[in-house]
Amino acid sequence: MELSAGRKRTNAAIFIPHLGCPHKCSFCDQNQTTKAQNSVSAKDVYDILESYATSLKQRGLTAQIGFFGGTFTALDWDYREELLSTANQYLRKYPEIFTGIRCSTRPDYINEKVLEQLRHYGVNAVELGVQSMDEDVLELNNRRHSSDDVRKSAELIKSFGFESGLQMMTGLLGDTAEKSLYTADELIKLKPDTARIYPTVILKNTMLGDLYESGKFKTFSLEETIVLCAEIYRRFTENNIKVIRLGLNISSKSNLKNEIIGGNYGLQLGELCIGRYYFNRLLKFMQNSEAKKFHIYADRRNISKINGHKSENKLKLAELGYEFKIEEKQGADLEIEAL
């Protein structure tokens, strides 16, 4: 959830199950991921957004309308226009609630004509599912696009004035920590506004699932994932790229949990990775100081991150002989004062 003009902002999500996808990537069982099998109609969009409008108004929230799930820009032109036209009606009907439209797509399904259509209907953010910038990883996971496709599409999206988002995965077939860090560094060069980091989740009835069950594939362990994603988060953050998602968060109402046979996911994963990022910062500062006690100033939203999941940062630092107390300071990320 993001902040916008003093009000909390979220997404009014509309899932397009597997539609537009030209083929199936190694990790993908999109029908399960989006919890639906049927095409979404303009009437469905109308009903979904009407429901969101009522709920968001009651909760004092604003939202971007988000088309997620399939490859949005690979949909049939007229069908995509039908969906966008309906969404655009809600931008005009509830301008105090809906702040724009975002969509996610593949790097090889972006061109000027498509971007003109998106802009015409009020789309203001486009995310690319990059997954990796390593050519071998892309090939092994049946992505069927190149890293150059990513670079060209990302530049084109920015040239049209869209908010740009890039999504990457860690722990895919053939991936290593070094390759994931290379991917992060290559994405940083493209200067996106936002990023999503998704450690691989292994599902039944996918290529990775079959390889995993046969013992021919395993993804990174939880600890390896935490160490790696904390570093990727640091690199994005220090380059002013906002990480809007870290880890696949699965609703308690979703059937997807029943399909997972391996990998790392869940809200707790993001907390663990971001907590490790703050632990690393704290430890570095403390080790470079002669003091053992510290006063920390941080915005309220960062206090739990600094303490770590179940206060593990505080406990681990105490074991190393360091103590700290936190005082709320609006707008502060992490300010440390030796005592």
DSSP, residue by residue, 126-174: EEEEEE-S-HHHHHHTT----HHHHHHHHHHHHHTT-EEEEEEEES-TT
Strand partners, 263: 201
Q: Read off the pTM.
A: 0.92
Residue linked to tokens 């880890």: 247
CB atoms within 10 A of CB 261: 15
Mean pLDDT (whole number) for 33-42: 64
Residue 246 or 15, more confident: 246
How distant, in Å, are the alpha carbons of 39, 85, 260, 304 from that of 20?
11, 18, 24, 40
Nearest residue to 13 (alpha-carbon basis) of 70, 79, 95, 76: 70
Q: Which two three-digit tokens encode residue 283?
A: 């430890």
pLDDT bucket at 1, cuts 50 / 70 / 90: very low
Q: What are phi and psi of 309, to 5 degrees?
A: -60, 125
22 pLDDT more than 50: yes
How confident is the model at residue 6, as a pLDDT?
A: 41
What's the full length of the chain, in residues?
A: 339
Residue linked to tokens 């009606």: 89
Q: Which residues contact 68 (CB under 8 A, 6 or more apart)?
A: 13, 14, 15, 16, 34, 103, 104
Angle at 294 between CA 285 and CA 236, to 5 degrees: 40
Please give the Cα distance from 74 to 200 (Å, whole number). 24
How confident is the model at residue 230, as a pLDDT?
A: 98
The order of strands in the sheet holding 293-298 is 323-328, 293-298, 335-338
State whether the Cα torsion 221-223-224-230 is positive or negative: positive
How distant, in Å, are the alpha carbons of 47, 176, 226, 311 from that of 276?
41, 20, 7, 11
Express as a percent the part of the chain with pLDDT over 70: 93
How distant, in Å, are the alpha carbons of 24, 91, 166, 315 from that of 104?
16, 19, 9, 40
How confident is the model at residue 79, as a pLDDT?
A: 94
Nearest residue to 150 (alpha-carbon basis) of 172, 127, 173: 127
The per-residue pLDDT for range 310-328, each reduced to its tens digit, is 999 999 999 999 999 999 9
Q: Which two three-digit tokens encode residue 97?
A: 């609630």
